[in-house]
Amino acid sequence: MIRIIAIEREFGCGGSELAETLAARLGWKVLDQSLTEEVARIAQVARAVVEQREGRLDPLVYRLAKVFRHGCYEKAIPVSTQEAFDADRALALVQQVVEQAATTGNCVIVGRGSAFFLRQRTDTLRVFLFATREFKFRSLLSHTQNEAKANELLDTVDRDRRMFVKHYFRLEWPLRSAYHAMLNAALGDDLILRTILDLMDALNKKETSA
């Protein structure tokens, strides 16, 4: 039976409001911003620090310095909690929180690589949202009120996600085989919601009949 729904998406496709509505319909909990907050609590860092690391590789200068530090006597020099919280640490804690939530079940998880972490679980419905650049631009513009900023985000966020997935999972993003369905965000939340619920019902019936 489906007990977890993982929603991945291209930047600008939304997903958070859809997840809230979906979770409310099912009586489940949502892991979105609360997931970030939980990682920050465990790591004992500010939420903003976690947001800076989620889905991004560390800057090249930091990665080079890290290699140097790990290869010399300076690795014994203690670093602050903030400095120690890098992409490696962020990924490990995100995976920990996602897998703990999956163990409990009855949750909708937004992004954070959840579809990759949970792709072997038969109780997880994995959905990917995509859209045209024009659609995503209009969506971002309504939030940023700044055309240059909206274009900058479109040019960088998904590129960073792609590099992150390639580096840590050795996979291409988005990986079609990781999802049960890839839906165009332009369909609108109502139709996407109905499609997800119908797919969930079909998968549950298939398991029951088997």
pLDDT digits (tens, 9 = 90+) for 31-50: 999 999 999 999 999 999 99
Does 198 fall in a domain? yes
Does 120 fall in a domain? yes
Which tokens go with 14?
């939304």
**pLDDT for the residue 53:** 85
- What is the total residue count of the chain? 210
- Please state, in angstroms and rounded to a whole number, the distance separating the CA atoms of residues 38 and 23: 19
In whole numbers, what is the pLDDT of the chain averaged over residues? 88
Q: Cα 94 to the chain's mean position, in Å?
A: 9
- Please state, in angstroms and rounded to a whole number, the distance separating the CA atoms of residues 190 and 114: 23
Does 63 fall in a domain? yes
Does 139 fall in a domain? yes
- On the question of pLDDT at 67 being above 80, the answer is no
Counting DSSP H helices and E strands in the chain, the numbers are 10, 5
Edge-first strand order for the sheet with 29-31 is: 29-31, 107-110, 4-9, 124-130, 181-184
Dihedral sign for Cα atoms in the order 99, 100, 102, 103: positive
Does 30 fall in a domain? yes
Does 210 fall in a domain? no
Range of the domain at 105: 4-204
**In 3D, which of 123, 46, 53, 51 has the Cα closest to residue 88?**
53
- On the question of pLDDT at 76 being above 90, the answer is no
> In percent, how much of the chain has pLDDT > 70?
88
Q: Cα 54 to the chain's mean position, in Å?
A: 8
Give residue 57's pLDDT band: very low, low, confident or very high (50, 70, 90): confident
Q: Model confidence over 125-177: pLDDT tens digits?
A: 999 999 999 999 999 999 899 999 999 999 999 999 999 999 999 999 999 99
Does 209 fall in a domain? no
Give residue 85's pLDDT band: very low, low, confident or very high (50, 70, 90): confident
Does 178 fall in a domain? yes
User: What is the pTM assigned to this prediction?
Assistant: 0.86
- Please state, in angstroms and rounded to a whole number, the distance separating the CA atoms of residues 59 and 179: 30
**pLDDT for the residue 62:** 42
- 114 or 54: whose pLDDT is higher? 114
Tell me if the bond preceding 59 is cis, omega within 30° of 0: no
**pLDDT for the residue 137:** 97
Structural domains of the chain, count = 1
CATH code of the domain covering residue 177:
3.40.50.300
- Rounded to an integer, the average pLDDT of 58-77 is 44
